[in-house]
Structure 1
Amino acid sequence: MKGIAQAQIESVRGLWLSARSALASGMPALLVAVAVYLGLFFRLGDFPLFDVDEGAFSEATREMLERGDLVTTWLNGAPRFDKPILIYWLQAASVGAFGLDEFALRLPSALAGAAWVVALVAFTRRVADNATGHAAGFIAATSLGVTLIGRGATADALLNLFLALAMFDLYRYLVSHRVRYRRRVWLWMALGALTKGPVALLIPGAASLIVFALCGQVRAWAKAVRDPAGWLIMLVVAGPWYWLEYQRQGQAFIDGFILHHNVERFAQPLQGHDGWLFYYLPVALLLLLPYTGLLLRVLRRLSELRATPLDAFLWCWFLFVLAFFSLAQTKLPHYLIYGITPLFVLMARHRHAIGSRLLAFAPPFFLLGFIALLPMLLREIGPQTGNLYLRDMLSRPDVFSQAWQRAAWAMLIAVAALALMPRTPVWPRLAASGLICSSAVGGLALPALAALQQGPVKEAALLVRSAGLSVRTWHFNVPSFSVYRGAVTERAGELRNGELILTRSDELEGMGQHGVLYRKGGVVLARIGG
């Protein structure tokens, strides 16, 4: 254990030396590549799938391959209308190449995140300079929001790639009026519509209308909207799947996908995901960790919204997404990700304006402090939790090893040392802190949290699979169980004597007589009747 901790300490020291060397020798592209690896690929497949989202996408992909159905997605034997088809195709291709595991299921999102960073660097280099472009990519790759989305086996990283590409080409069209840019916008929106639906048209369309209006170019915007070639691109790229799915599912597709998962999602809170009007303001502070101090410095420049077409474009993009999803009744933290790309450009442009060490280093110190204190917090909170399932989950003593804890504290100390380093510009030290935070999130926090929530689910599924047992679920929505079991798992409407049930520990009391085959972290396999 001591050797592992020492290796972690040495890796932290190496990160700082590499960052300082790269900055000094003019190798920012290499530094961005390191940031992309740590933020998106480091330990990508080393922890179980999170439920419900990762489990649902992954199980739908597994069932797609099992059924040989490349049009309709299914989840535990029922049609799944949550999202369009593109992410499932990409996950299926990845699974076909690498096998059915966490790495293969997450790889399309990680690659989309990497492409998103590359597109951001290329755009920012053109509108600013090389150093600012690399800084924008570095900030994006090591920010908490991108790290979480880019490592998730869901559709969001792919959608964000297409949104960014569409918006970047809209700006190019704004300043040049070249036809090829507006045609490419239609292509990116079509691919976005195949990834997540109407939101891929709404955000570029509405945000760009505001920008074009501010710049006195509404006619150019209208010309792009009426472009027959653009509509043809949309019909050719996205139209076939929508038509085939409607032919198969009919009104159920309209009701499930269009009305329920899009219209109703805006009009009313779904699945209890509601929030107050200013819900996304604290969310923005968290998603931009460890660069929250730099974000606060940039927000003071909101008054410069109309200073240049670029400023108008960046601010209107972010503010439209913030306003739209603040008004929507269903609120989820990752919705704001659709509007944070312009913040990366703004933060990179003003990265040297953050002279305050407290403002710069308090956020990374907070993030790493939370990670380092997590074992102690759970030891205190877990036993006091009222819900039995959560108490069993949070009170497991086997998740945080001594090596894990030493590594977390070493990273926290490293950031403290960077903050106190004299006679050194703030930005390079903050960048080094970003690498450390990214390593801590991907290498320590996510694996530990996945072990708490999903480790027992995976163990139970593999146990059932190896024994060839039949099982149903009872009041427990964990689609990842079906992924690891390699079979559809039905929900039990009523309990039958002698059957095996997967459930939560807080459901046992109401199940009558039963015998427990497996119990860990609140996850239970029980035989009804004993």
Structure 2
Amino acid sequence: MLPDEGRYATVAWEMLATGDWLTPTLNGLPFFHKPPLFYWISGAAMALTGHTALAARAGSLVGAILGAFALYLFTVRWCGPVRARRALLVLLAQPLFFLGAQFANLDTLVAGCITATILCLAHTVLCFESQQDYSKTLLLSYLLAALGVLAKGLIGFVLPAMVILLWLVLRRRWRSLWMLISLPGLLLFLMVAAPWFVVMQQRFDGFLHYFFIVQHFQRFAAGGFNNVEPFWFYPAALAVCSLPCLLWIKKLPASSYWRSADQVLTDVRLLMGLTVICIVLFFSLPQSKLIGYIMPAVPALSWLMADLSLELMGSERARRWWRISVLCSAFMALVVVGALTVNQKYSARSLGLALQQVRQNEPVYMLKEYVYDLPFYAQLKRPVKVADEWQKARQSHRDNWRTELLDAAAFNPVLAQATLLPVDAVRASLCQDSVAWLVGRSDAEKDFPFLAQAEQVAVSHGQVLWRISAQKTEALECKVAGSH
């Protein structure tokens, strides 16, 4: 599903195709919007199981499994198997979690890492406070935080630290706070998270500034990016996506809920509530918002919905309504997945499959649009040539495929010069090739008149795949050697 799935699946594919497992690339150009963990997982899955869409989504599946079972194991240990099973069932039935687990982008992977880190830190604290051994789980917490950084950057440890810090402050557990500061843990964190960043900075001057300053702080603070939404967007979206199970939390504001006779249960309820609040508030501050960003709040909210449903299980009617609400959530998730499976207008899969017949020495051109998933489906092993009005594109501040390719071009200007072509340079470039393939919108003939004499190989959702031969000098107006 374009653009996200096509982008991230193609970057993972390029890692596998080139054998360079360190530098993420988009159309051969260094792509540093995000760290590499998703690409490593999905690329490895494609290497092991074959070039399939399921393998391309492996990073999201791993994140979902990590988050779901972290929630289950933590709840079994501190709240009992009944709450654990119910929390897991409610989580798996949530449309947002169900869809995110099979959607090839980084949100579910980092959500799984953040959830597991928070719960592992909380488990460590509760073990310390009950005088049980906690040394191994403390190190595991630092490891999970490092994986979160490799999944999507600084939020991998910033959000868990924020939640746990506030949880301990509200509980006034100062000794527990100092216990979490671990020199071995910090060394483990740096050993896992830091090497990739160090190597990329050594390879590409300016990488750290671009990754942290531009892609983290400027994007968080600026309002000029895409998907500008109001402050209340995430609370509303999370509420809508959690129906009808959300109806169980009507007693959430009651003070009695937060003062259970079981102190551990009270502590866990506070942890889950703070997790939802901190994550929603954190991502509500920037003007630019995408629904997937809120994924780390879904496991904690699912736990609260499951826990509150147990508080109301006094009648057969309530038990029946609980089953219906969970089934309705699962049904809605399945309906959305089914609809997207049937309607593939957001994918260039058919064009990509048709393009698999391209030979290794035959170039591929994309005309005034970079189709993210085309290299993945066509299994292209070298960059395509993208034709566009690049001078105009440099003046735009919108976050799109043009901006991504231009940002990447700064890290490899030599390759960028060969692959990012001005519109008026396409004809001359085609004349150098015996056979070439071109992809563009159906109205591309306005800017490229020679397409009228090219062979149409496939058409899909307004996009066309052409095959053209340089021997058609009448169409391309190529200069033939010896002619005047």
Same fold judged by TM-score > 0.5?
Answer: yes
Alignment of structure 1 residues 235-254 onto 2, 5 Å:
235-251=190-206, 253-254=207-208
Alignment check: 8 A CA contact 2:61 2:101 kept: yes
CA offset at residue 511 of structure 1? 4.6
Cα deviation 1:80-128 (Å, max 9, x = unaligned): 1022122211112111111111021113422431232222122222332
What residue in structure 1 maps to residue 109 of structure 2?
158
What residue in structure 1 maps to residue 352 of structure 2?
461
Alignment of structure 1 residues 193-342 onto 2, 5 Å:
193-225=149-181, 227-251=182-206, 253-269=207-223, 271-294=225-248, 297=250, 299-301=252-254, 308-342=266-300
Alignment check: 8 A CA contact 1:144 1:286 kept: no
Alignment check: 8 A CA contact 1:52 1:477 kept: no
CA–CA distance in structure 1, aligned partners of residues 196 and 53 of structure 2? 27
Alignment check: 8 A CA contact 1:290 1:437 kept: no
CA–CA distance in structure 2, aligned partners of residues 302 and 474 of structure 1? 61
CA–CA distance in structure 2, aligned partners of residues 300 and 489 of structure 1? 56
Alignment of structure 1 residues 377-388 onto 2, 5 Å:
none
Q: Does the residue aligned with 1:425 lie in a helix, a strand or coil? A: helix
Greater alpha carbon shift after TM alignment, 102-111 vs 337-346: 102-111
Q: Does the residue aligned with 1:502 lie in a helix, a strand or coil? A: strand
Say if 2:121 is the partner of 1:121.
no
Q: Does the residue aligned with 2:438 lie in a helix, a strand or coil? A: strand
CA–CA distance in structure 2, aligned partners of residues 100 and 169 of structure 1? 34
What residue in structure 1 maps to residue 340 of structure 2?
446
Say if 2:418 is the partner of 1:494.
no
- 2:363 aligned partner, one-letter code: S
In angstroms, what is the RMSD of aligned CA positions?
2.7
Cα deviation 1:136-158 (Å, max 9, x = unaligned): 11111121111121102222222
CA–CA distance in structure 1, aligned partners of residues 448 and 27 of structure 2? 23
Identity %: 23
CA–CA distance in structure 2, aligned partners of residues 231 and 302 of structure 1? 38
CA–CA distance in structure 1, aligned partners of residues 277 and 41 of structure 2? 31
Alignment check: 8 A CA contact 1:302 1:315 kept: no
- 2:185 aligned partner, one-letter code: G
CA–CA distance in structure 2, aligned partners of residues 347 and 322 of structure 1? 17
CA offset at residue 212 of structure 1? 0.8
What residue in structure 2 maps to residue 102 of structure 1?
53
Q: Does the residue aligned with 2:228 lie in a helix, a strand or coil? A: coil
Say if 2:374 is the partner of 1:481.
yes
Alignment check: 8 A CA contact 1:73 1:81 kept: yes
CA–CA distance in structure 1, aligned partners of residues 161 and 73 of structure 2? 22
| Of 140, 164, 168, the match for 1:184 | 140
Q: Does the residue aligned with 1:51 lie in a helix, a strand or coil? A: coil
Q: Does the residue aligned with 1:172 lie in a helix, a strand or coil? A: helix
Count of residue correspondences:
409
What runs of 5+ residues in structure 2 fail to find an aligned partner? Answer: 129-133, 261-265, 388-421, 431-435, 469-474, 477-484
Q: Does the residue aligned with 1:491 lie in a helix, a strand or coil? A: strand
Instruction: Name the CA shift for 1:294/1:108 in 2 (closer, same or farther; >3 Å).
Output: same
Instruction: Name the CA shift for 1:441/1:302 in 2 (closer, same or farther; >3 Å).
Output: farther
Instruction: Name the CA shift for 1:422/1:204 in 2 (closer, same or farther; >3 Å).
Output: closer
Alignment check: 8 A CA contact 1:322 1:336 kept: yes
What residue in structure 2 maps to residue 425 of structure 1?
320
Instruction: Name the CA shift for 1:219/1:435 in 2 (closer, same or farther; >3 Å).
Output: same
Alignment check: 8 A CA contact 1:298 1:347 kept: no
Instruction: Name the CA shift for 1:508/1:150 in 2 (closer, same or farther; >3 Å).
Output: farther
- 1:350 aligned partner, one-letter code: L
Say if 2:125 is the partner of 1:174.
yes
- 1:461 aligned partner, one-letter code: G
Alignment check: 8 A CA contact 1:145 1:337 kept: yes
Instruction: Name the CA shift for 1:293/1:503 in 2 (closer, same or farther; >3 Å).
Output: farther
What residue in structure 2 maps to residue 514 of structure 1?
451
Cα deviation 1:228-269 (Å, max 9, x = unaligned): 111111111112222212211131x11332122211221114
What residue in structure 2 maps to residue 26 of structure 1?
none
Alignment check: 8 A CA contact 2:64 2:101 kept: yes
Instruction: Name the CA shift for 1:201/1:480 in 2 (closer, same or farther; >3 Å).
Output: same
Richer in helix (by share): 1
Cα deviation 1:200-234 (Å, max 9, x = unaligned): 01101111111111011244324423x21111111
What residue in structure 2 maps to residue 45 of structure 1?
none
Alignment check: 8 A CA contact 2:312 2:318 kept: no
Say if 2:440 is the partner of 1:503.
yes
Cα deviation 1:178-214 (Å, max 9, x = unaligned): 3433322111101111111111011011111111110
Alignment of structure 1 residues 519-530 onto 2, 5 Å:
519-525=459-465
Instruction: Name the CA shift for 1:175/1:464 in 2 (closer, same or farther; >3 Å).
Output: closer
CA–CA distance in structure 1, aligned partners of residues 229 and 447 of structure 2? 32
What residue in structure 2 maps to residue 130 of structure 1?
81
What runs of 5+ residues in structure 1 fail to find an aligned partner? Answer: 1-49, 356-420
- 1:477 aligned partner, one-letter code: Y
- 1:321 aligned partner, one-letter code: I
CA offset at residue 55 of structure 1? 1.3
CA offset at residue 76 of structure 1? 0.1
Q: Does the residue aligned with 1:350 lie in a helix, a strand or coil? A: helix
Alignment check: 8 A CA contact 1:460 1:525 kept: yes
CA–CA distance in structure 2, aligned partners of residues 109 and 302 of structure 1? 37
CA offset at residue 337 of structure 1? 0.8
CA offset at residue 446 of structure 1? 2.5
User: Structure 2 length normalisation: TM-score?
Assistant: 0.77
Alignment check: 8 A CA contact 2:283 2:289 kept: yes
Q: Does the residue aligned with 2:459 lie in a helix, a strand or coil? A: strand
Alignment check: 8 A CA contact 1:354 1:426 kept: no
CA offset at residue 331 of structure 1? 1.0
CA offset at residue 61 of structure 1? 1.5
What residue in structure 2 maps to residue 409 of structure 1?
none
CA–CA distance in structure 2, aligned partners of residues 216 and 76 of structure 1? 52
What residue in structure 1 maps to residue 13 of structure 2?
62
Cα deviation 1:381-410 (Å, max 9, x = unaligned): xxxxxxxxxxxxxxxxxxxxxxxxxxxxxx
Q: Does the residue aligned with 1:213 lie in a helix, a strand or coil? A: helix
CA–CA distance in structure 2, aligned partners of residues 311 and 435 of structure 1? 25
Alignment check: 8 A CA contact 2:252 2:308 kept: no
Alignment check: 8 A CA contact 1:265 1:329 kept: no
